[in-house]
């Protein structure tokens, strides 16, 4: 027994020394070359303060639940939407998670190592929608558990969530509930088609074994890999894909055609801004009139929207430059004084590059 303890101690020391050596070798490079990671860590730590307070509050109120089904055992906190910042609700919807990890591990660029060694806090906003059924709360918690055991792979976490619903013969009911109460999230669930793109089996197994015993890891892996969408759900997927293609066509056509109206140095800056918003309003109005809002898949539309708004902004900037060249400085500054100094289109409201911020205007 003494020999076993000695070998275990040497093994831990060896691992610690190896990690320390790696840190010393990379530290200089990190401090010089990766300021963006330090900024990301600052934002991450701010969110961490919020999440730790929420979890502590849930513990005090007896709102930390245990889940023990289908080969998984974990805890998650029930929190109220009034206590969760808007930024988290917008980004994550009815459930979210946070990993408490060592900043050094992430600074060294070892994301998987940091996430696998950290402690995860899982949350479900139990009143995100009116009268959320208990099963909806459970499936949302399973999704966050999936984020944890796959080290943040949203795609695989979705597949695990729906695999559990299918195992309990509730997949059609569950998908129907999501489509009725949070259609935007329903569209997002299908943003990567049917989630059939899986990592290499050995890679997936390695990820799962970080948090599971080998036997449990194999069980979770089989649920993810063997899950197949019912045909009725795949029909809905086809509908969402078709409509999102049409939404993309509207955005490209209306913003593309409308952008030419900005290409005039005769407009005042105030009129240029008004014209840009008018073009975008026309685009959003067509999406609304055709009843497409509920089908919007943000991962599909965001990139296209950002590209089109950037193109519109480029024309706006080029027009400003031409105005500056042909106008007297006094007149140019006077036009600016009417609207406040601008050198590009605003990035909020209807002119936001983030389509999730534009949705309320549809």
Q: What confidence tens digit (pLDDT) does each residue in 265-276 have?
A: 678 888 889 989
For residues 328 and 342, state if they share a domain: yes
For residues 161 and 208, state if they share a domain: yes
pLDDT band at 22 (very low <50, low <70, confident <90, very high): very low
Q: Any bridge partners for residue 100, and if so which?
A: 119
- CB burial of 146-155 (b: ≥16 within 10 Å; e: otherwise) equals bbbbbbebbb
For residues 141 and 267, state if they share a domain: no
- CB burial of 103-130 (b: ≥16 within 10 Å; e: otherwise) equals eebbbbebeebbbbebebbbbbbbebbe
For residues 98 and 21, state if they share a domain: no
For residues 275 and 205, state if they share a domain: no
Number of structural domains (the chain) is 3
Lowest mean pLDDT among 36-40, 135-139, 179-183, 302-306: 36-40
For residues 84 and 129, state if they share a domain: yes
The Cα–Cα gap between 218 and 226 comes to 12
Q: Any bridge partners for residue 141, and if so which?
A: none
For residues 19 and 160, state if they share a domain: no
Token duo for residue 338: 């009417």
Of 176, 208, 229, the residue at which a domain comes to its end is 229
**For the residues 232-259, what does the mean pLDDT come to?**
85
Look at residue 91 in the predicted model and tell me its pLDDT.
80
For residues 189 and 276, state if they share a domain: no
Of 229, 253, 270, the residue at which a domain comes to its end is 229
For residues 159 and 102, state if they share a domain: yes
For residues 71 and 139, state if they share a domain: yes
Closest CA to 315 of 261, 251, 249, 254: 261
Look at residue 266 in the predicted model and tell me its pLDDT.
74
For residues 17 and 135, state if they share a domain: no
pTM given for the model: 0.65
Token duo for residue 79: 């929190």
Domain of residue 118 covers: 35-229
């Amino acid at each position: 027994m003494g020999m076993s303890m000695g070998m275990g101690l040497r093994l831990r020391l060896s691992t610690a020394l190896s990690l320390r050596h790696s840190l010393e070798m990379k530290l200089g490079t990190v401090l010089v070359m990766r300021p963006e990671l330090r900024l990301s860590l600052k934002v991450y730590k701010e969110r961490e303060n919020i999440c730790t307070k929420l979890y502590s509050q849930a513990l005090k109120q007896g709102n930390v639940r245990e889940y023990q089904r289908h080969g998984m055992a974990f805890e998650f906190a029930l929190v109220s939407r009034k206590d969760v910042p808007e930024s988290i609700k917008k980004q994550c919807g009815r459930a979210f998670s946070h990993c408490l990890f060592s900043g050094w591990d992430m600074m060294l660029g070892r994301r998987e190592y940091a996430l696998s060694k950290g402690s995860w806090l899982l949350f479900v906003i139990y009143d995100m929608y009116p009268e959320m059924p208990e099963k909806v709360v459970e499936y949302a918690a399973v999704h966050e558990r999936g984020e944890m055991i796959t080290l943040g792979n949203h795609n695989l976490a979705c597949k695990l969530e729906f695999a559990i619903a299918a195992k309990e013969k509730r997949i059609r009911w569950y998908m129907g509930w999501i489509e009725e109460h949070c259609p935007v999230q329903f569209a997002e669930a299908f943003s990567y088609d049917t989630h059939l793109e899986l990592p290499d089996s050995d890679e997936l197994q390695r990820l799962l074994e970080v948090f599971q015993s080998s036997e449990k890891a194999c069980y979770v892996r089989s649920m993810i890999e063997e899950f197949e969408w019912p045909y009725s759900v795949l029909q809905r997927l086809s509908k969402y894909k078709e409509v999102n293609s049409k939404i993309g066509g509207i955005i490209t056509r209306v913003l593309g055609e409308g952008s030419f109206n900005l290409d005039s140095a005769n407009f005042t800056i105030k009129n240029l801004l008004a014209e840009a918003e008018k073009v975008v309003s026309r685009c959003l109005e067509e999406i609304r009139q055709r009843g497409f809002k509920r089908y919007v898949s943000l991962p599909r539309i965001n990139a296209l929207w950002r590209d089109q708004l950037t193109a519109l902004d480029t024309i706006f900037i080029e027009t400003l430059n031409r105005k500056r060249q042909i106008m007297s400085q006094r007149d140019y500054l006077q036009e600016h004084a009417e609207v406040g100094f601008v050198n590009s289109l605003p990035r909020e409201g209807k002119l936001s590059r983030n389509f999730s911020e534009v949705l309320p205007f549809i």
